[in-house]
Amino acid sequence: MKKYTYSAKRSDNKENWCVIDAKDLILGRLASQVAYRIRGKHNPLFTPHVDMGDWVVVINADKLRLTGDKLDQKKYYRHSGYIGSIKSVTAKELIEKKPGEILKKAVRGMLPKNKLGRKLCKKLFVYTGDQHPHAAQKPEAIEI
């Protein structure tokens, strides 16, 4: 009898949509759960090189919490590639300008740094209010 490990294909994935309410949740703990869902590790057919994840919609991203002094001390950097052009912004300033961006950056850091990771990033939708335009996909609410 021939034994082998089953390697799932993209067509084996039944893509689900889920909604997560981020109100009063801690940024890192939420980001790790979102990355887990997007990557597809909750799926019994998980295969590392195949997109087996769900589409995730996060609402109330402006009500996320950071523990300790991270609001003032945590910095996000960006660089254009030119000499001396590094820019930094604190977490507090980033939340004031773009509240959902801090969650996107946290989830992006937890996904693979390759083509698959860039593709998986597109499966995350972050909204600051209670409303989202993805009701037609019938997303299921997930409690974290």
Judge whether 87 lies within some domain. no
Number of domains within the chain: 1
User: What per-residue confidence (pLDDT) applies to 1?
Assistant: 63
pTM for the complete prediction? Answer: 0.91
| Strand-strand pairing, 124-126 and 55-59 | parallel
∠ CA 91-97-101 to the nearest 5 degrees? 65
Judge whether 39 lies within some domain. yes
Judge whether 129 lies within some domain. yes
For range 87-114, the mean pLDDT? 96
How far is the C-alpha of 96 from the C-alpha of 70, rounded, in Å?
A: 14
Q: Which two tokens stand for residue 41?
A: 């590790």
pLDDT confidence band for 3 (50 / 70 / 90): confident
What CATH number corresponds to the domain at position 31?
Answer: 3.90.1180.10
Note the pLDDT tens digit of each residue in 36-69.
999 999 999 999 999 999 999 999 999 999 999 9
Judge whether 5 lies within some domain. no
Judge whether 120 lies within some domain. yes
Judge whether 40 lies within some domain. yes
**Full domain range(s) for residue 138:** 15-66+100-142
Which pairs from 69-75 meet CB under 8 Å and 24+ separation?
A: 71/95
Judge whether 107 lies within some domain. yes
Q: Is the pLDDT of residue 2 over 80?
A: no
Judge whether 20 lies within some domain. yes
